[in-house]
Amino acid sequence: MENMKARRSGATLKYNGIEITPSITGFSLELSAEGTADNCSFQIADRGERWLGDLFPKKGDAIEATISVYDWEGDGDNRSLSCGTFTVDSAGINGEPVAISVGAVAKPVKAAFSATQRTQTWQKATLQKIAETIAGRYQLKLFYDAPEITIAAKEQSEQEDGAFLQELCQSYGLILKIYRDKLVIFDREVYKKKKTVKKISRFAIKREVGWNYQTDLEGSYTGGVITYTDARTEKDISYEVGTKERPLKLNEQADSIGDAKRKLEAAIANANHGLFRLSLSVMGNPDLVDGVVLEIVDFGVEISGRYFVDKAVHSLSRGEGYVTALEMSKII
């Protein structure tokens, strides 16, 4: 009987197009479905002191990263996670010996996306078209996986494009993020209904890290009411959904009853998301990323169930190996 091959894992990094993998002592990738930018960090043992010279880190430098596993859960189980492209936003150097620590974020190199304020009136446009226009300004492709939403009129008043689009997406219950040079927009509530990508048992959790479960005891919203002013008649209009047991009250500008309904349902969903939260760490797995659904078992009736991954942190180090830490919200 042949022996099973030893599992292996590693991160491959290019810095401004230069392969730096052999010098890496640690790498971490943070993927978030909460609207914040994905980010990564890595550590280098600078034995040749190249980072004190031609590779000295500068803000805006480009990083490409991939995490790979080989014979991971059995012979021939070879998988990879393309982490995308990042731009350097922090760096530290210490000695002796010389060691480098670099942090980077997944956002356009052009600082205008999150720094330059813009004033513009958007009229009779879909949210997808607004996103396409903004993405085009920063040479980003748009991945849009959400319903068509028509915006009658929306004022962008001295706001950065990134902040404006984030606010607009949130008001309709959509998630905005940048991944692999793409501006990604998706409907979290729709993604919660997708098939689970993996089942995780309590007994597979790294015992030295443990797990943590928290809940907000006051309970979720059972319905809500939105009040807005009709632009044509200047009359106040109210719209209700759900029950009055624990209602969410919302005062928001809306273009129509349909628009008001969508915004109210989004606000309720946003408020109820994260009511039951579970965090844990398991053996590294490239398939565990933000935005997927997992089935959690062996935790008892209250905790076990389907969970949406809000954040996934993939860490590789020479001491700890490859570990994936997850922050999740129970799907209710």
Mean pLDDT over residues 274-278, rounded?
94
Per-residue pLDDT for 259 more than 60?
Answer: yes
Structure tokens at 188: 């979290």
- Mean per-residue pLDDT, 126-151: 93
In this predicted model, which residue has the larger pLDDT, 204 or 88? 88
109 pLDDT tier (thresholds 50, 70, 90): low
Residue 4's pLDDT is 65
> Residue type at 140?
L
Which string of b and e fits 94-128 if b means at least 16 CB within 10 Å?
eeeebbbbbbbbbbbebeebeeeeeeeebeebebb
Would the pLDDT of 35 be above 70? no
- Residue 190, φ and ψ in degrees, nearest 5: -70, -40
State how far the Cα of 47 lies from the Cα of 49, in Å rounded to an integer: 5
Examine the pLDDT at 9 and tell me if it is beyond 50: yes
pTM of this structure? 0.90
Which pLDDT band, with edges at 50, 70 and 90, does 1 fall under?
very low
